[in-house]
Structure 1
Amino acid sequence: MTLTRRAFTLGMVATGAATAAGLTLAPRRASAATHTAYVKTYFTESPNQSGADYGLHLAVSRDGLNWTPLNQNRPVATPTAGELGLRDPFLLRKQDGTFVVVATDLRGTDFARVSQYLHVYDSADLTSFTGYRRIRMHTYSNVHTWAPTVFWDAARGQYAIVYSANTTADLFLVNYTSDFRTVSGPQTYFSPGFPVLDPDIQVHGGVTYLYYKNLADGYLYGARSSTGAPNSFTTYTSGLRQGNAIEGVHLVRRNDGAGWWLWGDSFSPVNNDFYLWSSGNIGNNSWSVLNQRDYTPPLNSKHGSVVGLTEAEYSGLISRWGTPNWVRLKSSNFPDRVVRHQNNVGRIDPYPLEPYQDQMWRMVPGLADAAGVSFEAVNRPGSYLRHSGYAVRLDPDDGSATFRADATFHRTPGLADASWTSFRSHNVPDRYLRHSGYLLRIDPLGASSALVDRQDATFRIVS
């Protein structure tokens, strides 16, 4: 115990010296700017882990609901120390307007491996990441340091790094810092008498809100404090859960000021990756479940964070990292399913799936008419979705005019929802791409068709 105190005394002395030099005064807050978009951090996993990558990933969104991966869904930075991988990357816009990323030091799913450290990156505008380092949060043996969240504690004039640990119980610890290099000693931040996991914290209207998973019952809850000080929180919501298991809670304040979103990450990559609620007032115990039609997480994404962006920042990210050269097609009336190929058959199946590349398509100019589109399989280059006997299958382009016409479709406003998309056959123009019994085919459809048939023919182009 003496060694632990001594180790953290050195850190606190360094912090105290910086304070004496005038370096830990509350940083100057960046001038107010309008946020018109969002950025999301995450790592990736898939059901059999073929899509696992434990580097820092970024995605952007205009509406905060439907996400576009950057850098072809590859990492923009990868740790080079510790466990050589990260999980749970948390992005914070600091008081000076620049960014810091803090993440769990763990690669893979061997949760018996523990680290006393967190990964840290600095970034001016998210087009590059500098100053990579690890910071030691504690000196306990066999205690994990998971799922950090960070907030500015105005009363202290420092940032609070709160994270999951398992000292005397599964609880949250906190360390305070001014520079994300030197930290204070750990303190118990939240230990409500039952085991907890995955904190997320937002300060709004002078109140500090802490959302977490209760490991005893498997539900997400919200607590609040008028000070944000350790051990000052009172739970004020009833339990929230969708699916079979949920964790990785994350709060997002909407750019339009209309309220909040609450994301929950599925416990396992074999389940749907994210679930979502909305509320007009974070202070009320009132969260509404959003339909999966309304949101699309990045491909294979897991447990991350979301921050608002200015228009210039959004444009800079697109310019620097680029958007995917592939798309996915999401079903309107089965929004947990996407178009994929399997054994050369076109169908819709629940997401996530393996091989995960079976749902990825290059939407290219129509093979028979450049005004239309054709769908080339990312993992079967030269093979396209085409209809044959009205059934849709994946076949290699044989160069014939018939094949090219069969593989060409024309985009139209969605038959069931004009904000989505339907695809009319090029050479059988009264028929549309639709699913029936989860299999893809082309059938005659129009405004007078039954609603369910028009829903079957309506898709959202996502990435």
Structure 2
Amino acid sequence: MTPQRPSTSRRTLLRAMTAVPASALLLSEAPGLLGTAGAAAPPSGSATRYTIVPFLNSNDGTVNVYQSDDATDFRLLRSAAYTPPAGRIRDASVIRHTDGYYYVTYTTRTWQDTSTTIGFARSADRVNWTFLYDYPVPIANLSRAWAPEFFVDGDGSVHIIVSCSTTDNEWIFTPYRLRATNSALAAWSSPVALTGIGANHIDTFLVRTGSTYHAFTKNETTKYIEYGTASSLTGPYTITRTGNWAGWGSYREGPALIQLDNGAWRMFFDGYGDGSYYYSDSYDTFATWSAPAALPAISGTARHFSVVKETVPGGPSLARDVTRSFRSANYPTRYWQQQSALLNLPVVSASSATAEKQAATFTVTAGLADAGGYSFRDASGAYLRHYDFRARFDTDNGTTAFARDATFIARTGTATGALRFESYNYPGRYLRHYGYQLRVERSDGTDLFRQDSSFLPVGAWG
């Protein structure tokens, strides 16, 4: 199974990645901010955790809870985790607030019905949810209040961006801002329209970098997700990207963004036109995006969600500056071994030749591109890196591109003590054996892939 090349050339992608200033990639660590975990690999013993609470393609009366350590491979935490006492639950947006609770706000009626309230629920553990209240959005002649999205500003203030239409034209939506007026998120300011975005836009999602507010919003006329910026939360926004500007295609909605461990921005969006759910990454602060890929496992099941990112304890730990060998979790007689500069997975045993044992022994170092990640060096000083998605060893040439190719983020593996190694510059791709060769391949969400990409650090053979 040979992985597909990205639609953007390798050289173009790496050039874009190295051109982004660090200041453009980091969000301030404001309390409750979506993505409070910074743009760095989690420290040893900790893990990144992404949580989503989507409603279901087959049922808009309940939500599932999924979690992931890489924002790609989401696994079910609880099905039917929350069902409101009345109405529906669609377009759920979730944050973790400064009081330690998780809050979700959502559309309370199905799309055919008049919907003048947005719902709220709360959870201490992301699994058990308690209904709080339905909030009547105070807009005169309101017909529909849809797709409320939490936004936490740099000063810690909590806002909701909600798409509203009135009875004179119930299908023409305008984004409004509500601001929480108490810390319990139980009272809200009068709605204020976001200026510059214009009518007939829905599912507006905001992020802030520095002093700039970035808006991603679906144009209901063209069915494309558009992009604009402003220097103030309520605008005026200038829409600068329209049509198929990012290559995502039409009939896309529900954009939601999160910053990954390597600093890239990932957008998730609902491809309701074809029944799939997609993600796409940007390394240049939203100017260009990778080709959209369907989320493994949950595409076709999950609908319209936002993401909470956290750094939590209990993650993988691997000592640095020590020598180790790496055993396959599902083929326990096979180990990483360098063969003619390539990394393969042959059988290694006590009866193997000394040279074979030495070729299966590596020094674990801090990641060349991120000290929270890992790099692996052979006895000659060459580093494990990927090239055209094949795992191989090369001499460090001192470039940013090489450092990123040679850095991996440790994720928890399938067996006790096992680790998975995610590519630093191709998030969602892992060192995985296939035909006893090691490649960097995109996760497909299957148990087999997780097993093929799990390895146990053991005592060095050589």
* Corresponding position of 2:188: 183
* Corresponding position of 2:252: 246
Which residue, 62, 67, 71 being the options, matches 1:64? 71
* Corresponding position of 2:160: 161
CA distance in 2, matches of 1:147, 1:38: 20
SS in 2 for 1:101: strand
Q: Does 1:112 align with 2:123?
A: no
2:288 counterpart letter in structure 1: S
State percent identity of aligned pairs: 21
CA distance in 1, matches of 2:212, 2:241: 15
Give the Å deviation of 1:133.
Answer: 1.3
* Corresponding position of 1:287: 289
CA distance in 1, matches of 2:213, 2:241: 14
Closer, same or farther in 2 for the Cα pair 1:253/1:216, shift >3 Å? same
Q: Does 1:87 align with 2:90?
A: yes
Closer, same or farther in 2 for the Cα pair 1:86/1:234, shift >3 Å? same
Aligned 8 A contact 2:65 2:126 in 1: no
Which residue, 228, 232, 236 being the options, matches 2:236? 232
Closer, same or farther in 2 for the Cα pair 1:69/1:190, shift >3 Å? farther
CA distance in 1, matches of 2:82, 2:249: 31
Deviations 1:73-94, CA, capped at 9 Å, x for gaps:
x21111003x2x1100000122
Which residue, 31, 39, 46 being the options, matches 2:51? 39
SS in 2 for 1:250: strand
SS in 2 for 1:304: coil
Aligned 8 A contact 1:421 1:460 in 2: no
Give the Å deviation of 1:39.
Answer: 0.8
Closer, same or farther in 2 for the Cα pair 1:102/1:313, shift >3 Å? farther
CA distance in 1, matches of 2:208, 2:196: 20
Kindly indicate which of the two structures has a greater share of residues assigned to helix.
1
Deviations 1:182-206, CA, capped at 9 Å, x for gaps:
1122221245345211111122223
Output aligned runs, 1:300-339, within 5 Å. Answer: 300-312=301-313
* Corresponding position of 1:400: none
1:300 counterpart letter in structure 2: T
CA distance in 2, matches of 1:280, 1:267: 26
CA distance in 1, matches of 2:445, 2:208: 38
Relative contact order (C-alpha < 8 Å, sep 6+): which is higher? 2
SS in 1 for 2:287: coil
Give the Å deviation of 1:308.
Answer: 0.8
SS in 2 for 1:192: coil
Q: Structure 2: 5+ residue runs without aligned partners? A: 1-28, 317-428, 451-462
1:44 counterpart letter in structure 2: L
1:210 counterpart letter in structure 2: A
Give the Å deviation of 1:224.
Answer: 1.7
Aligned 8 A contact 1:172 1:191 in 2: no
Closer, same or farther in 2 for the Cα pair 1:80/1:289, shift >3 Å? same
Q: Does 1:52 align with 2:77?
A: no
Aligned 8 A contact 2:276 2:300 in 1: no
Aligned 8 A contact 2:223 2:250 in 1: no
* Corresponding position of 2:411: none
| RMSD over equivalenced CA pairs, Å | 3.5
CA distance in 1, matches of 2:315, 2:65: 12
Deviations 1:286-307, CA, capped at 9 Å, x for gaps:
1121444x74435611001111
2:291 counterpart letter in structure 1: V
Output aligned runs, 1:30-429, within 5 Å. Answer: 36-45=48-57, 51-71=58-78, 74-81=79-86, 83=87, 85-107=88-110, 111-154=111-154, 158-167=157-166, 169-177=172-180, 178=182, 179-190=184-195, 192-228=197-233, 230-238=234-242, 239-240=245-246, 242=248, 245-254=251-260, 256-268=261-273, 271-282=274-285, 284-292=286-294, 295-297=296-298, 300-312=301-313
TM-score by length of 1: 0.55
Aligned 8 A contact 1:37 1:63 in 2: yes
Deviations 1:249-307, CA, capped at 9 Å, x for gaps:
111111x1421011220224xx232122111132x421121444x74435611001111
Aligned 8 A contact 2:271 2:277 in 1: yes
SS in 2 for 1:286: coil
Closer, same or farther in 2 for the Cα pair 1:275/1:37, shift >3 Å? same
TM-score by length of 2: 0.55
Give the Å deviation of 1:163.
Answer: 0.9
The aligned length equals: 286
